[in-house]
Structure 1
Amino acid sequence: MKQESARAKRAVVLDLTDVSSCDSAGLNVLPGAHRDADRAGVEPALAGVPVC
């Protein structure tokens, strides 16, 4: 995610469309991804988040 954030111009979108479940290890990636995007000066965004 750090590399993608550095290459992005405005935003990095994490598409969760095909994600059927996510454990705590997966959830712990999100704050780091947000931080990486912030440091690169781009907007982090989530797409395809399932509605419970």
Structure 2
Amino acid sequence: MTLREAIQKDRINEFVNEYKNDPKGDAAALEAILRSMAGSSSEAPKTSSRDGSDH
């Protein structure tokens, strides 16, 4: 069951019980990834004009 399904079916307690014994994630690795992503945003590609005159 996904979290979304648990919310929609009002079964949050069941969801928590199902996943409470899962191993913890690597907080240091997550932090490193988030920091690296925060400093490197990519520019969005330019859009074409509606009339097609950008050729």
Q: Establish whether TM, by shorter chain, passes 0.5.
A: no
TM-score normalised according to structure 2 size: 0.29
Please tell me whether Structure 1 or Structure 2 has the larger radius of gyration of its CA atoms. Answer: 2
Q: Which has the higher contact order (CA 8 A, sep 6+)?
A: 1
TM-score normalised according to structure 1 size: 0.30
